[in-house]
Amino acid sequence: PNGINIERFLEIDSQILQYMENKKLLNVFPLLCSPVNILPRKNIEYSLEVVAHLRKTYPTLKYLITGKPSRHRDTEEYLYKIKSLIGQLNLRDTVLFLSDDLSDSLSDQELHDIYSISDIILYFSKSENFGIPILEATLTKNPIFVSDLAVFHEIAGSLLEYVDTTKVTPQETAEKITTYINTHPTIPLH
């Protein structure tokens, strides 16, 4: 057949490919991803509001959160807050928690696969000690929108798309992402 076997070509792990096929993630645009655990400092609520605004332009978009609630911290209340916000923003069919279907921690290969099929990474933490997901996303050539933290500037200088989440509204961030997509044609082509 005239085409590419995505599993073979991108060397996608069969479990991740099965997840993608079950959730029909290979046919959506854009696929946004936050490689974060469910912790208040990860500022997932900001990303959710951005996603709600982006969905007006991209009705088929999906937003994947790769992490899970921390075992070491009481995150049940935060997860409840996040799920309530998902309902309020009418995003139940848009937001996916990878941990709802895959209980084990992701291997490096599986995480690489998630990055490989994602179109844009959202990482709007309120604080970070370092930011490994930024390095991971960079190695897979994903565009990354991050909060304006000093540690992220230390990692990547001016090479990331920074957003001051304390001053810039989610709608303005969604507009920035839309402009980015419209000026980088390889993203829709991907």
- Of 30, 40, 43, 45, whose CA–CA distance to 118 is shortest? 30
pLDDT in tens, 101-137: 887 778 888 889 999 889 999 999 999 988 888 888 8
Q: Which helix (H) or strand (E) holds 120?
A: strand 120-123
The answer to whether 35 touches 67, Cβ cutoff 8 Å, is: yes
Can you tell me the mean pLDDT for 17-21?
90
pTM for the structure as a whole: 0.91
3-class DSSP assignment, residue 45: helix
3-state secondary structure 130-147: CCHHHHHHHHCCCCEEEE
For residue 187, name the pLDDT band (cuts at 50, 70, 90): confident
User: Which residues pair with residue 123 across a beta bridge?
Assistant: 146
The pLDDT, as a whole number, for residue 72 is 62
Residue 172 confidence (pLDDT) above 90 = yes
Q: How confident is the model at residue 147 (pLDDT cuts 50, 70, 90)?
A: very high
Across the range 133-160, mean pLDDT stands at 90
